[in-house]
Structure 1
Amino acid sequence: MTSITIYTTPACPYCVAAKALLKRKGVTFAEISVDENPALAKSLRERTGRRTVPQIYIGEHHVGGFDDLRALDDAGNLDAMLMSHSSVN
C-alpha cells in the first residue's frame, strides 16, 4: 500500500492542523521533520517548488500544504484519495 508522508517543523501551526485532520480521518502517516536538516529542506523545496511546511504526499502525489489538504476534504475528495492510497484504521 502507498504511504502518506508529511514534512513538518515542530513549531508550525499548519503542520499541527494537517496532522490533526489526518488523525481524524483515521489514517497513519510518516512525519519527517525538516527543521534540523537543511539539505532535506532544500531538496523538498526543489521537489515541490514551495518553501513552506507542511508538505504532504499521498503516495507519490504531492497534495501540497494544509490549505490544499483542507480544500480536498471540503470538496469531498480527500476520503476517496486516502482510501485508494492507504489503510484506514
Structure 2
Amino acid sequence: MSKVTMYYKTTCPYCMRAEKLLKERGVTDLEKINIETNREARAEMIERSSGRTTVPQIFINGIHVGGCDDIHALDAEGKLVSMLSA
C-alpha cells in the first residue's frame, strides 16, 4: 500500500469526506498533519502543493494529487485505486 499524507483541519468537512474515501479504498496508514496548530506544517503544505492554501491537500507516495474534489475525480476515473496500489 502507498504512503498517503493528508494536510487537514479538524472541522473541515472536505477533509472528513476525503479521509472517508481513502479508507473506503483501503488506506489503513494515513499520515494526517493538522495545520491549525502548526504554522510550519501549513507553510510546508503550501510549498509542497505549489501554492494551494485550502485543505485537504493529499499526497500519495510524495506526489501531490490535490484536494477532496481531485481525489474523488481520480476515483471516478478509476485511477485512485491504482495509485494507492503502486
TM-score by length of 1: 0.88
Deviation string 1:30-81 (CA, Å, 9 cap, x unpaired) is 1111110112102211221100000000011100100110000001111111
**Runs of at least 4 residues off by over 6 Å:** none
Unaligned ranges ≥5, structure 2: none
Q: What is the identity percentage for the equivalent residue pairs of Structure 1 and Structure 2?
A: 46
Residues 5-84 of structure 1: pairs in structure 2 closer than 5 A: 5-28=5-28, 29-48=30-49, 49-84=51-86
State the aligned residue count: 84
- CA distance in 1 between counterparts of 2:52 and 2:58 reads 11
RMSD between aligned residues: 1.2
* SS at structure 2 position matched to 1:50: coil
Unaligned ranges ≥5, structure 1: 85-89
Which has the higher mean CA deviation after the structures are superposed, 34-43 or 68-77? 34-43
Deviation string 1:1-44 (CA, Å, 9 cap, x unpaired) is 64111110001000000000011112121111111011210221
